[in-house]
A = this chain, B = another copy of it.
Amino acid sequence: MITGKNNIGFELSGEGKKTFSAVNPDNFTEIDNSFFSATADEVEQALAKSEVAFEQYRLTTGKDKADFLEKIADELLALGDVLVQRAVKETGLPEARIIGERGRTVGQLKMFAELVRDGSWIEATIDTGIPGREPLPKPDLRKLLVPIGPVVVFGASNFPLAFSTAGGDTASALAGGNTVIVKAHSSHPGTSELVASAIIEAARKTGMPDGVFSHLQDAGFSVGQQLVTASEVKAVTFTGSFKGGKALFDLANTRKEPIPFFAEMGSTNPIILLPGALKDNPSELAKMIAGSITLGSGQFCTNPGLLIGVDNTLLEPFKQCLGEEISAIASSTMLNKRILDNYEQKKSEAIRQNSVISLSNNSDDSENKGTPLVASVESEVFVTNPKLQEEVFGPYSLVVNCSDRTQLDHVVDQLKGQLTVTIMGTPEDLEEFGNQIEKLKNKAGRIIFNGVPTGVEVCPSMQHGGPFPATTDPRFTSVGTSAIRRFVRPLSFQGWPDHLLPAELQESNPLDIWRLYNNEWTKSN
């Protein structure tokens, strides 16, 4: 079923001389198939098709887009165990996780299908005219959201399904009426190709235009660079490291025409351990947090890499429990050799810093696996050593000991923008540390009370994004229904004949959607 070729719209193409293979991260051996890196010419073809298809696809009704998205979900499931096993082989993630992630991916596609079938997402806003207004007549104005054009999606290494070929970025961009070109992540090219074939199949079956979706492989940087600087492209999304995201963001800034570039990058996702949380049951708290640190080998954007305690006496038993919990957790396969090497290097670097003490003692005997580690440091050292403030992507976390509130203030002031901040404590703690909590609200996209940051619910109220360096634009989210807003812009119609308006704006509200009509939310007019 895997051809190794690129999908240039409905056509399979493998014209290039450069090929690469996927590598099984369990043993670092190549997996049979080889994949053609897309040539500059193939990238051009995909861009041209995407631009042409956009002119047709952007006019597709919400109902038809919903059918397309649901068909993608069906085709994805129809790939069955072939997809699951390929993903397991390419990522080293357990089968249950891949099956769970497939469920989430299918759920996202269906959520966006529901959103565009319902239609209210389009923010229809109507102000009826007042021809007799003095000194000037008030025109009839009606606004809705329209797609912006071809969107480039970079697949992420850590979510081979939910943030890759048919992940949330693709689903939200297609839902918004944009055509999509995916640059597959080279860490799971076979998984990506299988998913791409499901999207292409769904597009054919639901009558979508050739070029609504293209899928390009590359083990290097040239395809990504060509896409980011192409004039046809009107938005880009990226999920990955700060280094990778910032480099592409800077490249996009050299474009003649600026475009939205949404990168979701690094985050240390601090957990603040307030006294009330440490008092009652430190061992249970440690167990919960240890689970979050090591879930999926710690390879989540929301992995808690920083635990900040405010009371050293209460913190001691917790640290001991946490060390024991982590020590009992086995090493595990990481997504690829680069991530593993990077993890081991950054972890070693962190632990070598002055005054950093290891809390766990896992045996580090497996060459091909990431070994968890938790360490501890005094807050005075932490605030003066930038090395300790960096994200270590993997099953690692650093406990920062603050002996009083002033020290906590210093640590909080030092924190950069985050996807999440978590507070563990009692409601009374929340009030007592109100000043610090307020500051933290200003530094994160999501603030959690007595939970763990891993596990990102897909729903309208989710904000998965945050101030820089967590993302390049905190005003948007990459998870949940609002993710569609990254790829749409408002268009106002002034004085337009009613029957020639988009259905969403016609006076009789034929689609029965929620609208802001003369400043009131209503389904009638």
Contacts and interface: CB of A to CB of B under 8 A. Distances in A.
Interface of A: 55, 58-59, 100, 120, 125-127, 135-136, 138-139, 141-143, 146, 148-149, 249-250, 253, 257-258, 260, 427, 430-431, 438-439, 441-442, 444-451, 455, 457, 459-463, 465, 467-469, 472-475, 477, 482, 485-486, 488-497, 499-500, 514, 516, 519, 521
Contacts of A449: 493-497
B450 A495 contact: yes
Q: Copy number in this complex?
A: 2
B519 A514 contact: no
A468 B139 contact: no
24 contacts: A55-B438, A127-B457, A139-B455, A139-B457, A141-B457, A141-B462, A143-B460, A143-B461, A148-B474, A148-B475, A149-B442, A260-B473, A427-B497, A431-B500, A444-B491, A445-B491, A447-B496, A449-B494, A449-B497, A451-B495, A460-B516, A461-B516, A463-B490, A475-B490
A445 B492 contact: yes
B496 A461 contact: no
Nearest to A125: B461
B494 A448 contact: yes
A492 B441 CA distance: 9
Given A448-B495, A450-B495, A488 B500 contact: no
Contacts of A500: 427, 430-431
A146 B462 CA distance: 14
A513 to B, nearest CB: 11
Contacts of A253: 250, 253
A391 to B, nearest CB: 16
Given A143-B461, A460-B519, A475-B488, 20 more contacts: A55-B438, A55-B439, A120-B521, A125-B460, A125-B461, A127-B457, A127-B459, A127-B460, A250-B253, A257-B468, A427-B497, A431-B500, A446-B492, A446-B494, A447-B491, A448-B494, A449-B493, A449-B495, A461-B516, A462-B492
